[in-house]
Structure 1
Amino acid sequence: MGAVWRKGWRPAAVLLLILILWEGIVRLFKTPSWLLPAPSMILKEAVTGYERFLPHLQSTIGLAAAGFLIGCSIGILVAVALHLLPGVQEAVYPLLILSQNVPTIVLAPLLVIWFGFGWLPKLIVITLVCFFPVTVAALGGFRHTPVEMKQYMLMAGASQLQIFSKLEWPHSLPALFSGLKISATYSVMGAVISEWLGAKKGIGVYMTLASSSFRTDRVFVAIFIIMILSMLFFVFIQIAEKWLVRWTREEMR
């Protein structure tokens, strides 16, 4: 706990300073609330409008978590398949890179036309956002397995599957979790973008309604909630990484 405090007080102090300056500038120049609300006004709206915002928050959390799990699962499976089948990797990997050059905001309306306004197009959007960082990170981890250890296992008569499960997979975990952390933060924003396509609930819907009614304080409430959710997802993956990587290393001893 002491280590967390020693590392965390500086960014917390900077954030507090920014909020104080923000509050002071808004009050000094008497900026209209519809243009730029003060942090105190945003906090007041977050407290008083909690019950109104809660259903949207729950919807986005469920959507982001489901999309993250699906996207990361597909990303891991794709990485394993490409690693174990080098010929397929040479043919498919460039196409995966090209798929990331298509803006999500452009692809999203097409998904609505093809699949309607249900959960499916939203999950596809989040999956597309999440799977690529996981795939790239996992492939990088597989490639950085110590060559001498791989040669030793080959000399001992290990099969390709045994080398993968006993050596390459455990050594890829640190890199894989780096990709999972990136995808965890992307999943929340992917969920919000997907909700702009057409949804009844969600932070994206809440932001759209607040923006159209010039309730900028509510827009900022949604922005801060998105930031907090992304941070919580990141911390959750970080905790899982510490536990799983340590457990894997103990098993390899």
Structure 2
Amino acid sequence: MKIWREYTLTISLLFILVFFWEVTARIINMAFILPSPTAILVKLWELKVVLIAEHLPATLLIIFIGLAISILLGVGLAVSMNQSKIIEKAFYPLIIFSQMVPTVALAPIFILWFGYSIWSKVLVTVLITFFPITINTYDGLRSGSKELKELLLTMGARKKDIFFIVNVPTALPHFFSGLKVAVTFSVIGAAIGEWLGAQAGLGYFSRRMMTQFDGAGVFAPIILLSVVGILLFLLVKWIENKSLKWRQSQ
């Protein structure tokens, strides 16, 4: 009931869109192009064992490995750029440039290098997810109060003390903002990698159904991917709320 009260407009709009989708799909009557939501749900129920037991774990493994690498790489690079102007000038333009090249264009190259192994898909996921984590964390580290830093210096604090007392608490909200974006992008990255070349995974299964002109089969794993993205976002949001209770009290 609480969720319904908070998101009444969103849920109502979603129901309206699904209703029009259902009506339009029935009028067109071309299920291989535009299957109805009910047909997709039926297909999802029919394929639940195959999708959840076989293909979902493969996609989740790519997502979690990619996110872990992105967090380590992104936070480490953000801290290094904050501590060193030389590293900042060397890497910041490269980080921006990395987002200028379309990921879909690089994915086939990764597959050429690593084949259909998991690492080609992980690289696609890392390429998409490390950017928001790095930039948001870096901006958070830079946004610490200069007055507070100067006060701590006059009290004899070292740079390490200032980093943990001022920079880290200030950067945490920014880090979680970047992570919330990254977890949703990670689902997209894993799906793109699997779509272009894989032997298992939700993206691979969707592509296989496309070759069979099974519209509902194409949409079924996409719906499951959307649910995974939402659940990951809510998980990060929950961790953020638990970790930043001090900000809520303020």
Bin the TM-score by the shorter chain: over 0.9
Deviations 1:2-41 (A, max 9, x none): 2x332122211111111112212222x2422112111111
Other-structure match for 2:128: 129
Question: Judging changes above 3 Å, is the alpha-carbon distance between structure 1 residues 195 and 30 closer, same or farther for their aligned structure 2 residues?
Answer: closer
Distance 1:248 1:160 in 2: 24
Task: Tell me the C-alpha RMSD between the 2 structures.
Answer: 1.8
Other-structure match for 1:149: 148
Report matched runs for 1:51-130 at 5 Å. Answer: 51-54=49-52, 55-130=54-129
Question: Judging changes above 3 Å, is the alpha-carbon distance between structure 1 residues 24 and 233 closer, same or farther for their aligned structure 2 residues?
Answer: same
TM-score, length-scaled by structure 1: 0.93
| Aligned sequence identity (%) | 33
Structure 2's unaligned 5+ residue stretches are none
**Residue type at the aligned position of 1:106:** A
Distance 2:235 2:155 in 1: 39
Distance 2:194 2:227 in 1: 18
Offset at residue 115 of structure 1 (A): 2.4
Offset at residue 203 of structure 1 (A): 0.8
Other-structure match for 1:237: 236
Distance 2:59 2:45 in 1: 19
Offset at residue 249 of structure 1 (A): 8.6
TM-score, length-scaled by structure 2: 0.94
Other-structure match for 2:169: 170
Distance 1:247 1:57 in 2: 36
**Residue type at the aligned position of 1:195:** E
Other-structure match for 1:221: 220
Distance 1:241 1:65 in 2: 18
Offset at residue 83 of structure 1 (A): 0.5
Deviations 1:100-125 (A, max 9, x none): 11111111222222223212222111
**Residue type at the aligned position of 1:137:** N
Q: 1:211 aligned to 2:210?
A: yes
Would you identify which runs of 4 or more consecutive aligned residues in structure 1 move more than 4 Å?
Answer: 247-250
Alpha carbons 2:33, 2:215 under 8 Å: kept: yes
Q: Which moved more, 1:118-127 or 1:200-209?
A: 118-127
Question: Judging changes above 3 Å, is the alpha-carbon distance between structure 1 residues 32 and 197 closer, same or farther for their aligned structure 2 residues?
Answer: closer
Distance 1:127 1:228 in 2: 21
Deviations 1:178-198 (A, max 9, x none): 000010000011011111232
**Residue type at the aligned position of 1:130:** T
**Residue type at the aligned position of 1:51:** V
Structure 1's unaligned 5+ residue stretches are none
Distance 1:56 1:88 in 2: 40
- 1:204 alignment partner, SS class: helix
Alpha carbons 2:184, 2:230 under 8 Å: kept: yes
Alpha carbons 2:4, 2:11 under 8 Å: kept: no
- 1:124 alignment partner, SS class: helix
Distance 1:196 1:106 in 2: 13
- 1:117 alignment partner, SS class: coil
Q: Which moved more, 1:206-215 or 1:190-199?
A: 190-199
Alpha carbons 1:34, 1:216 under 8 Å: kept: yes
Distance 2:90 2:24 in 1: 56
Q: 1:49 aligned to 2:66?
A: no
